[in-house]
A and B are shown apart, each in its own frame.
Chain A
Amino acid sequence: MNDAFAQIAALNARYARCIDDGALADWPSFFAEDCLYKVTTAENYKDSLEAGIIYADSRAMLVDRVSALAEANIYERHAYRHILGSPFIVEDGDGVARAETSFLVVRIMRDGTTDLFASGRYVDVVRFGADGPVLAERVVVCDSSRIDTLLALPL
């Protein structure tokens, strides 16, 4: 088992735990300062349509999203449970790797309704530095083009 695989798998496990435990303030710290985080659909991705449901080209924009969710936006209380597959290492280069990881996200509403909210894959560029791996890019490619009600918490 190579190092990139183990490091990205560990990064993903921490990432999912962070969101699912509600520690959203820590979520931006998984990303590089000049990152790209985008949520899109498989159809847009296949057709090279660049817009995102969420589109952030800096870690500071992710900080703003967390602040907005906490302070400004109104939505019914809910939580996610991420189930992640093993990362597939597409390319392992000099201090940078490209990887893809499947995800399922279950959404639990305040009344207990539990639904499969999203499935898809993370298409990542991971940078390995002195402080461990960070996400230089995470493009969240949802298999379906349909979002139920709204997307508040990040995927």
Chain B
Amino acid sequence: MTTTVANPGLPDGTAPLNRAWPSEGLTRVPYWVFEAADVHAAEQQRVFEGPSWSYLCLEAELPNAGDYRTTFVGKLPVIVVRDRAGEINAFENRCAHRGALIALDNSGSAKSFSCVYHAWSYDLKGNLTGVAFKNGVRGEGGMPASFCMADHGPRKLRVETVGGLVFATLAPEAPPLREYLGEEIVACIERVLAGRTPVVLGRFTQSLPNNWKLYVENVKDSYHASILHTFFTTFGLNRLGMRGGLIIDKSGGHHVSFSAIDRSVENTAEYKSEKLRSEKESYRLADPTLLQGFEEFPDGVTLQILSVFPGFVLQQIQNVIAVRQILPREVDRTDLNWTYLGFAEDTPEQRAIRHKQSNLVGPAGYVSMEDGCVGGFVQRGIAGAADERAVLEMGGASTESQESRTTEASVRGFWKAYRTAMGL
């Protein structure tokens, strides 16, 4: 059942994808969405260059004028740089002349940028400021008199920040960043990052053998956590008396999953006796200092996974703070860029705790290594099954915020935002 779908939300002239979403709606996900080249190509234009905001870097990574990093919006190479006025600018890492990369390093400091191919040069705002041999050599050659540098340049992105996170968009029609995120998501970002100075503790790239959306689904899937990740259960580390919930914004695209110590339960006699028993009977780590954290947040939240559509994650797992940038590489290859964070205000003891607890996360993380391979299990499992579909009925069909995390509501939320962006 393939029909041509009109794309009412897309700009005029956008070619329709010759594909139809299953009639059941958000409770079904067709597997072609993870496999098809036409879908993959359309995502760059409609999702990443559409009216969404993509994470680029941290403000703290650009402390001084001229500091830059190179990164991506989807597959689009981007330079993000602080200029002499202190503003952060972002523009395509693509020379306006013949398309070569302008900057070749992951990061650095520059007064200006110059393309290695023909030395076309750019200021820190991405304006073309020089063309080698523009007036020719000894009066011969050179650009025509009609050539105007102001008419040429890499595309510039709009940049806004929240909580020290730098986001950018290519779409003039995208709402302001805070409006895009909504108040609840902004508050959850700021509770982790605001009022202190982030420090990068390390950067790692995990190369995932699957479509980028399979990783996004995994991040948003609060149903799988206690089933796939057995580290806490196996070692008897689950805390009793936790409360939790899911926040899903109205677009569906952003979410927060959290759990917190329930103080009202923790003070009861039943809890105290249970807690003692569970610790004695099953606490089996040879070095229990792994989980001896410090109280960083007065709200008792010990886990907060926050995602921003399309490909950003901010995580607080106990005292491990990290951002993850999800970048598509090919239909079935994804780069997951981890940046582990501490804060300038950390004591040496707190910093040591962050390093130890970082064993929980990342490519070798006790509670995250499975997320690196499970997307590949799906990618391989669905080979040859493009017209079959996944079932997302846990917790019904809604995409609402709720206290239960035994639900796929936030996964459905992602598909809601994705279908809007893609016109599917």
B-binding residues in A (CB < 8 A): 39-41, 43-44, 49-58, 60-61, 63-65, 67-68, 71-76, 145-152
Q: How far is the CA of A39 from the CA of B365 in the complex (A)?
A: 12
CB-based nearest B residue for A146: B205
Of the candidates B106, B335, B364, the one whose C-beta lies within 8 Å of that of A54 is B364
A-B contact pairs, 22 of them (CB 8 A): A41-B203, A49-B200, A49-B203, A51-B202, A51-B355, A55-B359, A56-B359, A57-B355, A58-B287, A64-B285, A67-B235, A72-B234, A75-B369, A75-B373, A145-B205, A147-B205, A147-B206, A148-B207, A149-B206, A149-B209, A151-B369, A152-B369
Report the minimum CB–CB distance from A77 to chain B (whole Å). Answer: 11
CB-based nearest A residue for B351: A50
Report the minimum CB–CB distance from B220 to chain A (whole Å). Answer: 20
- Contact assessment for B202 and A74 in the assembled complex, using a CB-CB cutoff below 8 Å: no
- Contact assessment for B230 and A74 in the assembled complex, using a CB-CB cutoff below 8 Å: yes
Q: How far is the CA of A109 from the CA of B356 in the complex (A)?
A: 29
Q: How far is the CA of A72 from the CA of B9 in the complex (A)?
A: 46
Q: Does chain A have a CB within 8 A of B204?
A: yes
A51-B201 contact given A72-B230, A146-B207, A151-B364, CB 8 Å threshold: yes
Q: How far is the CA of A64 from the CA of B202 in the complex (A)?
A: 23
Q: Within residues 200 to 239 of chain B, which ones have a CB less than 8 A from any CB in chain A? A: 200-209, 228, 230-231, 233-235
Q: Does chain A have a CB within 8 A of B372?
A: yes
- Contact assessment for A54 and B372 in the assembled complex, using a CB-CB cutoff below 8 Å: no
Q: How far is the CA of A147 from the CA of B354 in the complex (A)?
A: 21
CB-based nearest A residue for B201: A51
Q: Does chain A have a CB within 8 A of B286?
A: yes
Q: Within residues 337 to 380 of chain B, which ones have a CB less than 8 A from any CB in chain A? A: 340, 351-352, 354-356, 358-359, 362-364, 366, 369-370, 372-373, 376
- For B372, the chain A residues whose CB sits under 8 A away are 149-150
Q: Does chain A have a CB within 8 A of B65?
A: no
Q: Does chain A have a CB within 8 A of B290?
A: yes
- Contact assessment for A76 and B205 in the assembled complex, using a CB-CB cutoff below 8 Å: no
- Contact assessment for A152 and B364 in the assembled complex, using a CB-CB cutoff below 8 Å: yes
Report the minimum CB–CB distance from B368 to chain A (whole Å). Answer: 9
- For A60, the chain B residues whose CB sits under 8 A away are 286-287
- Contact assessment for B201 and A74 in the assembled complex, using a CB-CB cutoff below 8 Å: no
CB-based nearest A residue for B206: A147
Report the minimum CB–CB distance from A137 to chain B (whole Å). Answer: 14
How many B residues touch the partner, as a band?
Answer: 35 or more
CB-based nearest A residue for B369: A150
- Contact assessment for B203 and A64 in the assembled complex, using a CB-CB cutoff below 8 Å: no
- Contact assessment for B208 and A55 in the assembled complex, using a CB-CB cutoff below 8 Å: no
- Contact assessment for B207 and A41 in the assembled complex, using a CB-CB cutoff below 8 Å: no
- For B285, the chain A residues whose CB sits under 8 A away are 64
Report the minimum CB–CB distance from B205 to chain A (whole Å). Answer: 5
- Contact assessment for B201 and A50 in the assembled complex, using a CB-CB cutoff below 8 Å: yes
Q: How far is the CA of A66 from the CA of B51 in the complex (A)?
A: 46
Q: Within residues 106 to 132 of chain B, which ones have a CB less than 8 A from any CB in chain A? A: 106
- Contact assessment for A68 and B202 in the assembled complex, using a CB-CB cutoff below 8 Å: no
Q: How far is the CA of A74 from the CA of B286 in the complex (A)?
A: 20
Q: Across chains A and B, which 5 residue pairs bring their CB atoms closest together, nearest first?
A: A51-B202, A60-B287, A150-B372, A51-B201, A60-B286
- Contact assessment for B373 and A150 in the assembled complex, using a CB-CB cutoff below 8 Å: yes
Q: A49-B201, A72-B233, A145-B205 are in contact. List 13 more A-B contacts (CB 8 A).
A: A40-B202, A41-B204, A44-B203, A51-B354, A54-B364, A57-B356, A63-B287, A64-B235, A72-B366, A73-B231, A75-B373, A76-B373, A152-B369
Of the candidates A49, A51, A52, A75, the one whose C-beta lies within 8 Å of that of B370 is A75
- Contact assessment for B340 and A51 in the assembled complex, using a CB-CB cutoff below 8 Å: yes
- Contact assessment for A64 and B286 in the assembled complex, using a CB-CB cutoff below 8 Å: yes
- Contact assessment for B231 and A49 in the assembled complex, using a CB-CB cutoff below 8 Å: no
- Contact assessment for B235 and A72 in the assembled complex, using a CB-CB cutoff below 8 Å: yes
Q: How far is the CA of A98 from the CA of B335 in the complex (A)?
A: 35
Q: How far is the CA of A14 from the CA of B60 in the complex (A)?
A: 44
- For B335, the chain A residues whose CB sits under 8 A away are 146
Of the candidates B106, B201, B204, B286, the one whose C-beta lies within 8 Å of that of A147 is B204
Q: How far is the CA of A142 from the CA of B265 in the complex (A)?
A: 46
Report the minimum CB–CB distance from B336 to chain A (whole Å). Answer: 10
A73-B366 contact given A52-B202, A61-B290, CB 8 Å threshold: yes
- For A75, the chain B residues whose CB sits under 8 A away are 369-370, 373
Q: How far is the CA of A146 from the CA of B290 in the complex (A)?
A: 25
User: When each residue 289-327 of chain B gets 1 if its CB lies under 8 Å from chain A and 0 otherwise, what string results?
Assistant: 110000000000000000000000000000000000000
- Contact assessment for B202 and A49 in the assembled complex, using a CB-CB cutoff below 8 Å: yes
A73-B287 contact given A49-B202, A53-B363, A54-B364, CB 8 Å threshold: no
Q: How far is the CA of A76 from the CA of B364 in the complex (A)?
A: 14
Q: How far is the CA of A57 from the CA of B205 in the complex (A)?
A: 23
Report the minimum CB–CB distance from B176 to chain A (whole Å). Answer: 33
A55-B200 contact given A149-B209, A152-B369, CB 8 Å threshold: no
- Contact assessment for A64 and B364 in the assembled complex, using a CB-CB cutoff below 8 Å: no
- For B284, the chain A residues whose CB sits under 8 A away are 67
Report the minimum CB–CB distance from A127 to chain B (whole Å). Answer: 20
- Contact assessment for B287 and A55 in the assembled complex, using a CB-CB cutoff below 8 Å: no
CB-based nearest A residue for B370: A74
- Contact assessment for A53 and B287 in the assembled complex, using a CB-CB cutoff below 8 Å: no
- For A72, the chain B residues whose CB sits under 8 A away are 230-231, 233-235, 366
